[in-house]
């Protein structure tokens, strides 16, 4: 098929590449001109078969670039992957403000207006599939009223994770489809059968909007729960959080799956924190009896503040330098959006502690931990850190419990219940 892709940033480009690698002609457009090229992909992404980078695949692909007008004229299905950002203060790298707001939809609205004009001018009906994350009710309120009736719309948000985007695109648990036009949905289902054999779940636009953000916030709930267990275990001698969570992972009938059930840092990324904060806004707007989503984010924030307290206590013992290892929100990517490590740094600043940060996948310079006596906090579970040698007299605080003991340093593995903090 001939596929159009509007928005080829950190999400859109790997997905467009994945479609192209399945034999489809893909024509791309992005308002950011730097995105419309195949030479360099700035984000850390592994390939569908475990390749260390998607750059060689991208450079050897037959992806093409053009205007929105070109896409309307030349393609059968048009995917719209335009950003719907939250303000930086709602990304989860700082404390949550008291006020709440919805996502910013102006970019999506501008795109649909432009696309509608081009479709009207072209004179033929076009299947348009929005994959951007929105809160329930958004498409009916903001998109349908400005859309030409020549657009046959569906809503198809993806369940992907940065760093493994192509693998997740090829191997989803299911394809979520909010249907506004039945014929468009049938055509889209034919398309997805060329990508994989996973279930195609059709529902209303509004249900699909809510399913997407509910999926993300359910993951945040699991992480908040296991990190609470980690905090309990850290105070009870003999209790080990990995023993606790490994037992829970066996309970697949009731707890559902083992993923996101290992204690460590708080939830992060460009979707989960912001989705929880946005749903906490919606909860207030709807007057819900309890704002569950606000509770999740407060738990994440308070757990990070508790980690800052552990660092501060070591700092008060005379260790006057704090270095956070890892800026990325998870080890598979170099993206820092929603990073719990950066939230930790900002909370430490409130305490008067200006921590340094280093990430081997973000910073160009090399960093030698063997020459600097400091309090090292493992913020991102990069495998590189396992082999780091730390200067004599250093303290290493490890919420992931994977750093081994070394001579003449103190290793605090959080949640093992062996330290009185």
Q: From first to last of the 421 residues of the chain, give the pLDDT tens digit.
A: 999 999 999 899 999 999 999 999 999 999 999 999 999 999 999 999 999 999 999 999 999 999 999 999 999 999 999 998 887 787 788 888 888 888 899 999 999 999 999 999 999 999 999 999 999 999 999 999 999 999 999 999 999 888 899 999 999 999 999 999 999 999 999 999 999 999 999 999 999 999 998 888 888 888 888 878 787 788 778 888 889 889 988 888 876 677 766 666 766 766 666 777 777 888 888 887 778 778 888 888 899 999 999 999 998 888 779 999 999 988 888 988 889 999 999 999 999 999 999 999 999 888 999 999 999 999 999 999 999 999 999 999 999 999 988 889 999 999 886 644 3
Contact 183, 152 (CB under 8 A): yes
Tokens of 12: 């859109």
Give the helix ranges, DSSP H, for 1-88.
12-21, 55-59, 68-74
Q: What domains can be seen in the chain, in order of their start residue?
A: 2-203 (3.40.50.720), 214-413 (3.40.50.720)
Q: What's the Cα-to-Cα distance from 67 to each of 75, 114, 117, rounded to whole Å? A: 12, 11, 13
Contact 3, 70 (CB under 8 A): no
Tokens of 22: 């399945």
Contact 228, 299 (CB under 8 A): yes
Contact 83, 132 (CB under 8 A): yes
Beta strands in 180-218 (DSSP E): 200-203
Strand order in the sheet with 64-65: 64-65, 25-29, 2-6, 77-80, 126-130, 151-155, 175-179, 200-203
Contact 414, 399 (CB under 8 A): yes
Whole-number pLDDT of residue 324: 97
Classify the C-alpha dihedral 269-270-276-281 as positive or negative: positive
H or E, element range at 272 = helix 272-286
Q: What is the pTM of this model?
A: 0.77
Whole-number pLDDT of residue 266: 61
Dihedral, CA atoms, 376, 409, 386, 401, nearest 10 degrees? -80
CA distance 299 to 304: 8
Closest CA to 79 of 195, 213, 198: 195
Q: What is the CA radius of gyration of the chain?
A: 23
CA 379-383-387 angle, 5° bins: 100
Whole-number pLDDT of residue 51: 94
Whole-number pLDDT of residue 267: 62
């Amino acid at each position: 098929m001939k596929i159009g892709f509007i928005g080829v940033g950190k999400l859109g480009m790997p997905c467009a590449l994945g479609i192209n690698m399945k034999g489809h002609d893909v024509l791309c457009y992005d308002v950011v001109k730097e995105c419309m090229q195949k030479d360099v992909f700035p984000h850390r992404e592994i390939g569908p078969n475990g390749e260390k980078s998607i750059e060689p695949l991208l450079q050897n692909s037959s992806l093409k670039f053009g205007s929105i007008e070109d896409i309307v004229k030349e393609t059968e299905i048009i995917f719209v992957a335009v950003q719907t950002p939250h303000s930086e203060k709602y990304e989860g790298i700082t404390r949550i403000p008291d006020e709440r707001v919805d996502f910013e939809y102006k970019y999506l609205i501008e795109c649909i207006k432009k696309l509608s004009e081009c479709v009207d001018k072209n004179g033929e009906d076009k299947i348009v599939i929005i994959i951007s994350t929105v809160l329930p009710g958004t498409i009916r309120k903001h998109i349908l009223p400005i859309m030409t009736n020549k657009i046959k719309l569906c809503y198809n948000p993806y369940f992907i994770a940065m760093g493994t985007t192509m693998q997740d695109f090829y191997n989803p648990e299911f394809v979520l489809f909010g249907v506004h036009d039945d014929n468009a949905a049938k055509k889209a289902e034919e398309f997805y059968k060329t990508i994989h054999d996973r279930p195609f779940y059709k529902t209303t636009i509004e249900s699909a909007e809510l399913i997407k953000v509910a999926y993300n916030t359910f993951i945040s709930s699991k992480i908040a729960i296991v990190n609470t267990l980690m905090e309990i275990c850290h105070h009870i001698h003999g209790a080990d959080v990995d023993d606790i969570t490994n037992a829970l992972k066996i309970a697949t009938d009731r707890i559902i799956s083992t993923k996101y059930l290992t204690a460590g840092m708080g939830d992060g990324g460009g979707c989960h924190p912001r989705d929880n904060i946005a749903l906490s806004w919606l909860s207030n707007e709807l007057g819900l009896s309890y704002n569950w989503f606000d509770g999740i984010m407060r738990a994440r924030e308070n757990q990070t503040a508790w980690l800052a307290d552990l660092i501060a206590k070591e700092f008060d013992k005379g260790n006057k330098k704090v270095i956070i290892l890892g800026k990325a929100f998870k080890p598979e990517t170099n993206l820092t959006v929603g990073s719990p490590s950066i939230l930790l740094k900002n909370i430490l600043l409130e305490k008067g502690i200006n921590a340094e940060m280093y990430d081997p996948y973000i910073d160009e310079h090399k960093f030698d931990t063997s020459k600097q006596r400091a309090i090292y906090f493992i913020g991102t579970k990069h495998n590189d850190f396992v082999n780091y040698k730390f200067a004599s007299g250093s303290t290493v605080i490890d919420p992931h419990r994977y750093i081994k003991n070394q001579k003449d340093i103190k290793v605090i593995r959080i949640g093992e219940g062996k330290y009185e903090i």
